[in-house]
Chain A
Amino acid sequence: MSRPEVTVIDYGVGNLLSVQRGLEHCGAKVILTANPEKILTAKRVVLPGVGAFTNAMPALESLGLVAVIRELAQRKTPLLGICLGMQLLLEESDEFGVTAGLGLIPGRVIAVPDRTLSGVAQKTPHIGWSALQASNETDGWQKTLLQDNNPGEAVYFVHSFMAVPTDPMHRIADCIYGGHSIAAMIRRGHIMGCQFHPEKSGEVGLKILRRFILQ
Chain B
Amino acid sequence: MGLPNEHALRYYLQGVDELIYMDCVASLYGRNHLGDIVKAAAKDIFVPMTVGGGIRSVDDATEILRVGADKVAVNTAAVANPQLVSDIARRFGSQCMVLSIEAKQVGADRWEVYTDNGRERTGLDVVEWAKRGVAMGAGEILLTSVDKEGTRKGFDIALVKVVSAEVAVPVIASGGMGKPEDVLTVVNEGRADAVAMADILHYKRAEIGDIRTVAENAGLGVRHYESA
Contact = CB atoms under 8 A, between A and B. Distances in A.
Contact of B92 (A18, A21, A50, A129): A50
A10 to B, nearest CB: 12
Interface residues of A, number: 35
Contacts of A38: none
Interface in B9-27: 12, 15, 17
B68 A202 contact: no
Contacts, number: 99
Contacts of A114: 168
A202 B15 contact: yes
B93 A131 contact: no
A51 B169 CA distance: 17
Contacts of A125: 94-95, 139, 169-170
Interface string A15-29: 101100110010000
Nearest to B71: A158
Interface stretch (B125-133, B151-159, B174-182, B218-226): B218-226
A111 interface: no
Chain B interface mostly helix, strand, loop or mixed?
loop
Contacts of A160: 94-95
B223 A129 contact: yes
B65 interface: yes
A95 B168 CA distance: 18
A22 B168 CA distance: 32
A117 interface: no
A213 interface: no
Q: Kindly state the interface size class of chain B when it binds its partner.
A: 20 to 34
Interface stretch (B43-51, B104-112, B113-121, B202-210): B43-51
Contacts of B217: none
A63 interface: no
Interface stretch (A65-73, A85-93, A181-189, A203-211): A203-211
Contacts of B140: 127
Contacts of B225: 153-154, 202-204
Contact of A200 (B47, B91, B226): B47
B1 interface: no
A156 B66 contact: no
B69 interface: yes
A204 B225 CA distance: 7
Contact of B95 (A123, A159, A199, A206): A159
A174 B66 CA distance: 30
A7 interface: no
A52 interface: yes
A15 B69 contact: yes
A168 interface: no
19 contacts: A15-B65, A18-B42, A18-B68, A21-B68, A50-B95, A123-B168, A125-B139, A125-B169, A129-B17, A131-B224, A153-B224, A156-B17, A158-B48, A158-B139, A200-B70, A201-B46, A202-B12, A202-B46, A202-B225
